[in-house]
Amino acid sequence: MISQILSDARRLEAERGARITESERPGFHLSSYTGWMNDPNGFTYYNGQYHMFYQYHPYKSQWGPMHWGHAVSRDLLHWEYLPAALAPDRYYDEDGCFSGSALPLPDGRLLLMYTGVRKELQPDGRMREVQVQCMAAGDGTDFEKYPGNPVLSENDLPAGASRFDFRDPKMFIGSDGVYRCVIGSRPADTSGQILLYKSRDGLHWQFEKILAENRNRFGKMWECPDFFSLDGKQVLLTSPQDMLSQGFEYHAGNGTLCLIGSYDEANEEFTEETIHSIDYGIDFYAPQTVLMPDGRRVMIGWMQNWDACEIREPDSPWAGQMSLPRELFLRNGRLCQRPILELAKLRSGRVEYHDVAVSGRLELPGVDGRMVDMEIRVRPKDPGKLYSKFAVHFAENEQFYTSFRYRPYEGTVKLDRNFSGSRRAILHHRRCFVGNDRAELRFRMILDQYSVEVFIDDGEKVMTATMYTDRVADGISFYTEGEAVMDIVKYDLRP
């Protein structure tokens, strides 16, 4: 039975979603059907299709009572919207169906696990959100909430953990066939921790242990965990709130964190070895991964920054995009990312230049557009003489441009959208460290109508930002202080 609240949302999204033309949307990034989108949820492969659910408020282009939006795809690049999957329509989730995950069940149904939120008046007069975990199952379009909900609540928390910060279950199946999930939690030290729960049937869950502890090292509360094996190691992804800046590695605000280590499944023991940021740009948060049938581990994040949401005009018909699907791999102990191979199928119009000298500003015939896949290799013209700056400007016309640039003396790459048509005084640039002594630097830039993702050194570091520059600004140019030489391969991307 579909509730009135869900059927109202479905009617509204069908009406408003249909009014948004293809040309108003990103070319190959998933955007909200209508209204607001945040975190990816329930990213899974089920009956031959990828399912992506998302945090969704169809009524407005601002965050509000959370529903789950829904889309499916066969190649992770062409998406078809399905009706909203969940609405806040039960007492235990009446103020929102927060983030969660999905897994196919042996009986053929798709199982969803999400956080139910209900506001509760506190003795001090404040309203606070009580967070519990809930299940729903269905055929991939319609889902029925489990009568035994909530399946995890404050009684299932370890000592000291807050019942107001207990969210974002991500399920997986262990090599022993047992269901497990990781959930974000706030311990007594007010920072964050990741809890591990186990279940035999996917419906009855038991607390197992505290899998990882923040101990106030990286921000505060840890949201949206994901936990999987990759290239012989174990990886824990999480998105810490309230980070403090630390050099060029961590930036203030909500960030993304990857912990690489080893996992002893028998004792459920995760040992951290290396820790670093996942994305060094402005707009990337709450990523989730899926294992593709051919064994590739692919990650998609919400391409937005909580503190910079106002970059979108308040009356936009859609607000919120997902990042490119990125294949994950480990190299030199780091989590690296590359755009999924399928993106190559959207390529056309190859343009190639070799050993192009750049000194000052340069435009190249055939190099422009707002849906572009471009690889650049850059090096000093005279190996003994460093240039002091190399920059690529894009989404450019007389008035606007967005850019990334490398300054060898500083060793940083900076992504900058100060001149992208934004009318808001919010965060518009970020820097990341790539090293000073680079004989050659490699970039791959994936540009869509309203976003840029820069993969540096074959995915060793990635910088992501949205920009809502008028689409007529489609120029690309190169700029150096000093003398550089570059090779370029550029394609148009056509969905």
Interface with ligand FRU includes 167 (CB under 6 A)? Answer: yes
Size of the site for ligand FRU (CB under 6 A): 13
Cβ contact 362:478 at 8 Å: yes
CA 267 to chain centre: 31
Interface with ligand FRU includes 422 (CB under 6 A)? Answer: no
Interface with ligand FRU includes 115 (CB under 6 A)? Answer: yes
Interface with ligand FRU includes 191 (CB under 6 A)? Answer: no
Interface with ligand FRU includes 101 (CB under 6 A)? Answer: no
Interface with ligand FRU includes 412 (CB under 6 A)? Answer: no
What is the 8-class DSSP label of residue 478? E
Whose Cβ is closer to ligand FRU: residue 99's or residue 477's?
99
Q: How far apart are CA 130 and CA 134, in angstroms?
A: 13
Interface with ligand FRU includes 129 (CB under 6 A)? Answer: no
Residue 242 beta carbon to ligand FRU: minimum distance, rounded to whole angstroms: 12
3-class DSSP state of 97 = strand
Give the DSSP per-residue string, 376-409: EEEEESSTTS--SEEEEEEEESSS-EEEEEEETT
The interface with ligand FRU within residues 35-64 (CB under 6 A) comprises 38-39, 55
Residue 88 beta carbon to ligand FRU: minimum distance, rounded to whole angstroms: 11
Indicate which single residue of 31, 99, 466, 480 sits in contact with ligand FRU (rule: CB under 6 A).
Answer: 99
3-class DSSP state of 8 = helix
- Is 470 annotated in the active site? no
Whose Cβ is closer to ligand FRU: residue 192's or residue 408's?
192
Residue 449 beta carbon to ligand FRU: minimum distance, rounded to whole angstroms: 24
**Residue where the block lists tokens 């979108």:** 312
Whose Cβ is closer to ligand FRU: residue 99's or residue 193's?
99
**Residue among 161, 104, 113, 109 at smallest CA distance from 133:** 113
**Residue among 304, 300, 318 at smallest CA distance from 426:** 304
The interface with ligand FRU within residues 327-386 (CB under 6 A) comprises none
Whose Cβ is closer to ligand FRU: residue 54's or residue 228's?
54
Structure tokens at 234: 């174990």
Residue 384 beta carbon to ligand FRU: minimum distance, rounded to whole angstroms: 48
Residue 223 beta carbon to ligand FRU: minimum distance, rounded to whole angstroms: 4
Residue 39 beta carbon to ligand FRU: minimum distance, rounded to whole angstroms: 5
Interface with ligand FRU includes 168 (CB under 6 A)? Answer: yes
Do the bridges between strand 451-456 and strand 334-339 make them parallel or antiparallel, or are there none, so unpaired?
A: unpaired
Indicate which single residue of 66, 86, 161, 311 sits in contact with ligand FRU (rule: CB under 6 A).
Answer: 66
Out of 8, 39, 189, 242, the active site residue is 39
Q: Where are the alpha helices (DSSP H) in 225-290?
A: none
3-class DSSP state of 214 = coil
Residue 227 beta carbon to ligand FRU: minimum distance, rounded to whole angstroms: 16
Residue 391 pairs in a beta bridge with 405, 479
Indicate which single residue of 68, 92, 98, 166 sits in contact with ligand FRU (rule: CB under 6 A).
Answer: 98
Interface with ligand FRU includes 224 (CB under 6 A)? Answer: yes
Residue 250 beta carbon to ligand FRU: minimum distance, rounded to whole angstroms: 17
* Dihedral sign for Cα atoms in the order 238, 283, 22, 61: positive
For residues 353-372, one letter each, b for 16 or more C-beta atoms within 10 angstroms of the residue's C-beta and e for the rest, the string is eeeeebeeeeebeebbbbbb
At a CB cut-off of 8 Å and minimum separation 6, what does 395 contact?
A: 370, 401, 402, 420, 447, 452, 467, 469, 473, 474, 475
Indicate which single residue of 223, 279, 373, 396 sits in contact with ligand FRU (rule: CB under 6 A).
Answer: 223
3-class DSSP state of 180 = strand
The interface with ligand FRU within residues 263-322 (CB under 6 A) comprises 285-286
What is the binding site for ligand FRU (CB under 6 A)?
Answer: 38-39, 55, 66, 98-99, 115, 167-168, 223-224, 285-286
Active site residues: 39
